Amino acid sequence: MGIYMRLDIIPEYINPDEWKEVYLESLQLLKAYPFVRLIEESVNGIPRLIYCNNPEENLDDEYQRHWRVSGDSETKKTGETFDLYYDLNRYLRSTNSVNAMDKDIIFEKLKEENAVRTAFDSKTQGHDYHTYILAIAMLIESRFPYAAVVGGDFDILQAEIAKKWANNILAKPIDIPVRVDAEKLVQRLSIQLSGVEAIEAFNNLYLPGHDNARMHQVIVDEYGIGPIKKWFTQQLLGYNSPCQLGAISLFIEWLNTTQDFAGLCEIICGMENNNEQIFGTIEFIKAICSTWVLIPPEWYKFMNVLKYPQGVTLSIAGQFGGIFLDMYFSGRHIEFYMSREKIVEVLIRYFDVCPEVIEQIINERVEEIKQALSGLREKLSPIFESLEIEEDIIDDEELYLYYSKETVLPDNKKIYLTALARKLENTLNESKNVIAVELLADMHKGIEIMAYSHGIALTEEAWNRIDHEQNEDVLKLLFSFLVISSDSKSFYNLRKAVLENNLLCHKISELIKDRELVKKAEE
């Protein structure tokens, strides 16, 4: 699980000097956004982890020269590391020969054993720098369209945003990646593939997004219903029951692409083994209900609030939420509606089941869906209320990390912070930890040692503020957050915010001196 960005290349297809030129172009994009690189430095003999603002290293050694980034200093959010080398030889194999005859990386990626090398494939976790890493990857694909290809978690709308940003900086514009451009991908594949083989390749390479209706139309226009039907049937044969989630997803894709329910019934009837229909009729009817093709769209229109805004990068929470929704509400992806009467009419025409049985199955399943949607709507009511009063929904991590003079802390947050700070202070004062007691004598040193022991990296700005902090109460507060160990995600996020945000740290230091707040916190 995770939100990824990936860049694949075939170095043997790339001119080494041209690669160096594109590397230098990538530096223009790096300098236009506050990327940070994780480094380890020794200050007064004590190691510390720093997110520094200079992404490049080893500039004097062409073979070792590269840039490396893992987040940005503006949002103070970090993910995994991305790097790119100046010298193409870093990506070449030990042998000069390569068995890639297609001269197009998309065909190489379809092979089990291929000549593709991965330049980077890491998690941004959906943080803001995701879009800007995408722009850099798009730059490389644009300059080497048949030797590089971008992959990962993004769609064409996000690519458009990245393209617009990059093209305001670069002298030569960049293009949309082939894997989110349905028309371009179809054209590339048609050079060597056709029919079912081409559809299978398209399905393996294309990264779907918000404009799936357009993608469906491109497939129909290019390949026709015949090959699509054959490919679809082959995919269905991989399932034991039509009620499996994967099979239901295929039904939804078929209906969205063709809007042909009768054609779907015809396919199911034709799927036989020893003259017996592979999928049972009753189970198929239940599965069709699960596609929501016969559910009035107004029933689930409220779920639009759960959709990610167009062009916004998916987050980890959004990814998990999507998985949960797909397990129980996969019908939300349907883009085609057919009345219950017409559904029943078609089912009667193709299957040997009396209308009363069909109606009973549909009524029972539709009632289950109706109840499930009603329950979900009730759980979402706080979100609807927030939207009605235009209330900002912000989690604690961002509330604390981006705390400023304009931030109004709710009373319950003030009490929580006061209680926690007092608890940490008391725990520190009562600590039997000899090392902690010794480090209290030199809290600057103690903060450095404890931060390193926890593997905590801070931005250059944060370390600079801590180094120059003279307020002993503030230093003790920082130290107490580092001495205490906790696996709690909320504590981890708050500790990061306290260390990074000087205003928040000073605010908490003031709160614990407020007698009224302390009294409430103790209660």
- Among residues 334, 357, 388, which one ends one of the domains? 388
Q: How much is the pLDDT for 263?
A: 95
Q: How much is the pLDDT for 437?
A: 60
Instruction: Please state the φ and ψ torsions of residue 147, each to the nearest 5 degrees.
Output: -120, -5
283 and 174 in a common domain: no
372 and 402 in a common domain: no
Q: How much is the pLDDT for 397?
A: 78
420 and 366 in a common domain: no
Residues near 180 by beta carbon (within 8 Å), at least 6 away in sequence = 154, 155, 156, 159, 206, 207, 209
Cβ 508 vs Cβ 417: under 8 Å: yes
Return the higher-pLDDT residue of 273 and 192: 192
Beta-ladder partners of 423: none
pLDDT tens per residue across span 407-455: 888 888 889 888 888 888 777 776 655 556 666 668 899 899 999 999 9
pLDDT tens per residue across span 243-267: 999 999 999 999 998 899 999 999 9
Q: Give percent of the chain above pLDDT 70.
A: 87
- Using pLDDT thresholds of 50, 70 and 90, give the confidence band for residue 519: confident
CA dist 287 and 435 (Å) reads 63
pLDDT tens per residue across span 37-88: 999 999 989 999 999 999 999 999 999 999 999 999 999 999 999 999 999 9
Cβ 237 vs Cβ 277: under 8 Å: no
Q: How much is the pLDDT for 114?
A: 84
Cβ 480 vs Cβ 451: under 8 Å: no
Question: What's the mean pLDDT in 382-390?
Answer: 49
CA dist 242 and 281 (Å) reads 9
* Confidence (pTM): 0.84
Is there a domain that residue 140 lies in? yes
Q: How much is the pLDDT for 101?
A: 55
- Among residues 139, 165, 180, which one ends one of the domains? 180
Per-residue pLDDT at 97 exceeds 70: no
CA dist 7 and 293 (Å) reads 38
Q: How much is the pLDDT for 391?
A: 42
151 and 27 in a common domain: yes
CA dist 170 and 290 (Å) reads 48
- The Cα-based distances of 371 to 114, 232, 300, 338 in angstroms read 50, 32, 12, 21
CA dist 56 and 74 (Å) reads 18
Per-residue pLDDT at 136 exceeds 50: yes
Question: What's the mean pLDDT in 175-183?
Answer: 95
β-pairing, 78-85 vs 4-9, is: unpaired
- Using pLDDT thresholds of 50, 70 and 90, give the confidence band for residue 103: confident
Is there a domain that residue 250 lies in? no
Is there a domain that residue 226 lies in? no
CA dist 239 and 252 (Å) reads 15
CA dist 49 and 456 (Å) reads 7
Q: What angle do CA 290, 291, 294 make, to 5 degrees?
A: 95
- The Cα-based distances of 269 to 101, 278, 344, 349, 351 in angstroms read 42, 8, 16, 11, 8
18 and 104 in a common domain: yes
Return the higher-pLDDT residue of 455 and 516: 455
24 and 156 in a common domain: yes
462 and 352 in a common domain: no
151 and 111 in a common domain: yes
Is there a domain that residue 263 lies in? no
Lowest-pLDDT range, 128-132, 159-163, 278-282, 328-332? 328-332
CB atoms within 10 A of CB 386: 13
Is there a domain that residue 214 lies in? no
Show the domain range for 487. Answer: 396-522
Q: How much is the pLDDT for 272?
A: 75
Per-residue pLDDT at 228 exceeds 60: yes
379 and 412 in a common domain: no
Q: How much is the pLDDT for 31?
A: 96
Q: Give percent of the chain above pLDDT 90.
A: 61
Total count of domains within the chain: 3
Is there a domain that residue 87 lies in? yes
Q: How many residues does the chain have?
A: 523
- Among residues 128, 149, 180, which one ends one of the domains? 180
Per-residue pLDDT at 361 exceeds 60: yes
373 and 291 in a common domain: yes
3-state secondary structure of 5: strand
Q: How much is the pLDDT for 312?
A: 62
- Using pLDDT thresholds of 50, 70 and 90, give the confidence band for residue 167: very high
Which residue is listed with tokens 């060597």? 192
Per-residue pLDDT at 337 exceeds 80: yes
292 and 431 in a common domain: no
Is there a domain that residue 202 lies in? no
Cβ 211 vs Cβ 194: under 8 Å: no
Residue closest to 196 by CA, chosen among 216, 221, 226, 217: 226
Question: What's the mean pLDDT in 315-321?
Answer: 54
Per-residue pLDDT at 488 exceeds 90: no
449 and 419 in a common domain: yes
Q: How much is the pLDDT for 389?
A: 38
Q: How much is the pLDDT for 392?
A: 44
Instruction: Please state the φ and ψ torsions of residue 181, each to the nearest 5 degrees.
Output: -110, 95
